[in-house]
Structure 1
Amino acid sequence: MTPRLLAASAVVGLMTGADNFLYAYGQAYLPVSTSSILISTQLAFTAAFALLLVRQRFTGSTVNAIVLLSVGAAMLGMGSGGDRPAGVSGAQYAVGFGMALGAAALYGLVLPVMELSQAWHAARAGSAALTYTLVVEIQVVIGLTATAFCAVGMLANNDFQAIPGEARQSQLGQPGYYLLLVGTAAVYQCFCLGIIGAIYYGSALLAGVIITVLLPVTEVLAVVFFHEPFSGTKGVALGLSLWGLASYFYGEVRNKAPEAEHQTSLCADRDCEN
């Protein structure tokens, strides 16, 4: 890893840590319905920043996918119900609203920045230098930097002192609570590695699409494992999201088809010459 790429990965890690801070504190002051709608705007921010930073090309299928996925995610919030949480003042609600929207915008920026840093490295060191091993190294730097950023914030707010009390009050018991913390951290690192891999093999927009699809899928998993009610709104949201995902990949296949045909014809011409 070059010093430039190391610095870029550290900056992305700081941005990710700040995004986690905004997301956590934003949700503390908002109902699930409002936070879900605000977080659903992340894909739109990703598309906008991808257009500005990496010159992402948009087709009719891509735009259709963005609209369908965003509407599907927003419908989950509309169907959740709920107003301002009890004990939350108007000022706190406004702060939470701004933080949740800021979290969506910031992570919408993080994904294209990751793609841009990989493109810069490939342009300087050659495309062969950009391997998946390097992608794993990038995630290690991002994870360590983001963890350090969040740890400083938790120390300043005395959040570490609250963990033992939460563990004692947890319905899972103290061992289950700490196991849940460790397991969540491990799964989140796998998620982040997968997102960077999606950017490496695809684009920041692909990563944004995958993240947005996870929202309704999570609702379905909650129905299966926690026996939550499956409302018509959740069904429509899931259908729109799957439709958007299919529209995105349909557009990608159509765009890649001419390139594949061109490469096939080049290979055939070379065989003819030989």
Structure 2
Amino acid sequence: MEPGSAPNQGDSSALSLAASEGRRHKTGAGYVPLLVISAVCLFVGSLSSSLLAKYYFIHKGSSRWVSTWVQSAGFPLLIPFVCVPYFLKRTQRRPFTHFTPKLWVLSIFVGLMLGVNNLLFSWGTSYLPVSTSSLLLSTQLLFNLILSVLIVKQKVTFSNLNCVMLLTLSSVLLALSSSHDRPPGLTRAKYFIGFFSTVGAGLLFALYLPVMEKIYRKVYCYAMVVEMQLVMEIAATVLATVGMMADGGFAEMKREGERVFDKGPRVYYVTVAMTVACWQMCFMGTAGMVFMTSSLTGGVCMTALLAMNVLGGVVVYRDDFEGVKIVSTVLCVWGFCSYVYGMHLKNTKHQETDNKSSVTPAGTGPRNRHGQAMEMGRMPDVASGLV
């Protein structure tokens, strides 16, 4: 069977076993390039989308439904990646092959959950400085660890627990002393609406990551990840579109671009288009990291990137960067380095174990039910066995 082809029914158990074994071993020539691409998309998308969202509100943009809609409206950008490989004969697998009714329902449900998360994020971004909202979002990591333990049986080690505690502490310090950071004219009530909306977005995202990891364990190739992401973002866009229609959002979008946005219609629509593309990069980068590593690793990377968002807010928007914010950023970097070091130690130990097993006499190693070497039906999950 070719790597891109779909399995028949008789091979389903072999694929399940291959996927299970693949989560313990880093194999496949495409693993590292795809992991690097996902990391770059996550980095660029997260930083750019955060700064563009704030740019929209700074220059008189005010529609939270528009801000919500652009986060998922980039789903058409995924269609070429779903269809083109099949039409160019680069794979024999047809798009959406082996999508069960359960997988369809799960994709739609998670997409709606993502839409609610996008709305909460928009409310938070509209009221808080980029630096404050970014650091507040790191509260999701503690809940991400707890939910990962409950949902995907994530192992708790000193390195990941230390990382989570440091990043959470940075958020607590910020929350206790950042009320003076309110933009001029923002009432106390609206500040706390933004504060709790941002925390709510972080908690919902903490649930989203382990749920996706559990679903991805039933997925045997990266193409299915892209297809699931397409379905989820369509569901999220439908939710945002319904909200915009009910609230007059499309008419408001036109009026906003022509009369309200102080940079003019052209800059307005360029900002919207760039935001759509950047959010798409961010979500696909997140999906790739969760698929190839683990939900906790994806959450740690997202949280560590918040430090970059803080620096971006300081450089671009001249947000205050004193006292507690400096300490919070240092704690973010410290926690991430602790996590990476723990991964390095586990990876070294894992490689030593693999080297020992490689000298096992022929015929005594693990075989699939056909007596053949395991075929890589999906990109393996390395970090789930590392931390």
TM-score (normalised: structure 2): 0.61
User: In 2, distance between residues paired with 1:183 and 1:95?
Assistant: 27
Aligned to 1:163: 253
Structure 2 CA distance for aligned equivalents of residues 166 and 16 of structure 1:
26
Q: Which amino acid aligns with 2:162?
A: N
Question: CA 1:248 to 1:131, structure 2 compared with 1: closer, same or farther past 3 Å?
Answer: same
More helix by share: 1
Of the three residues 226, 242, 249, the one matched with 1:136 is 226
1:237 to 312, 319, 328: 328
Task: After TM superposition, give the deviation of residue 76 of structure 1 in Å.
Answer: 4.8
The answer for unaligned runs of 5 or more in structure 1 is 123-129
Alignment CA distance shift 1:84-1:15 (3 Å): same
Partner residue in 1 for 2:180: 81
- Aligned positions, number: 264
1:200-248 per-residue CA deviation (whole Å, 9 max, x = no partner) reads: 1111111111111122211212333445554344333222111111111
Q: CA, structure 1 residues 183+101, in 2 after alignment: closer, same or farther (shift >3 Å)?
A: same
Residues 35 and 97, structure 1, Cα contact 8 Å, conserved in 2: yes
- C-alpha distance in 2 between matches for 1:45 and 1:64: 14
The corresponding residue for 1:250 is 341
Superposition map of 1:48-67 within 5 A: 48-67=146-165
Higher RCO (C-alpha 8 Å, min separation 6):
2
**Separation in 1 of the partners of 2:344 and 2:361?**
25
> Where do residues 130-209 of structure 1 align in structure 2 (5 Å cutoff)?
130-167=220-257, 168-209=259-300
Contact 1:213 1:241 in 2 (8 A): yes
Gaps of 5+ in 2: 1-95, 365-387
Equivalence for 1:212:
303
Please state how far the C-alpha of 1:249 moved relative to its aligned partner.
1.3
Displaced runs of 4 or more, over 6 A: 29-34
Q: 1:170 to 1:139 in 2, by over 3 A?
A: same
Please tell me whether the aligned partners of residues 130 and 313 of structure 2 are also in contact (alpha carbons under 8 angstroms).
no
User: Structure 1 CA distance, aligned partners of 2:152 and 2:182?
Assistant: 39
How much has 1:98 moved relative to structure 2? 5.0
Per the alignment, residue 115 of structure 2 pairs with 17
State the identity as a percent. Answer: 35
* TM-score for the superposition, normalised by structure 1: 0.83
What is the one-letter code of the residue matched to 1:258?
K
Deviations 1:143-166 (A, max 9, x none): 111111111111112222222232
Give the equivalent residue in structure 2 for 1:47: 145
Q: Secondary structure at the match of 1:160?
A: helix
Q: Which moves more between the two structures, 205-214 or 76-85?
A: 76-85
- Structure 1 residues 267 and 87: CA distance shift in structure 2, 3 A: closer
Counterpart AA for 1:142: M
What do residues 121-144 of structure 1 show as CA deviations (whole Å, max 9, x unaligned)?
14xxxxxxx222222112111111
Question: How many angstroms does 1:189 deviate by?
Answer: 0.7
Superposition deviation, residue 89 in structure 1: 7.9
Q: Secondary structure at the match of 2:303?
A: helix
TM superposition shift of 1:85: 8.1
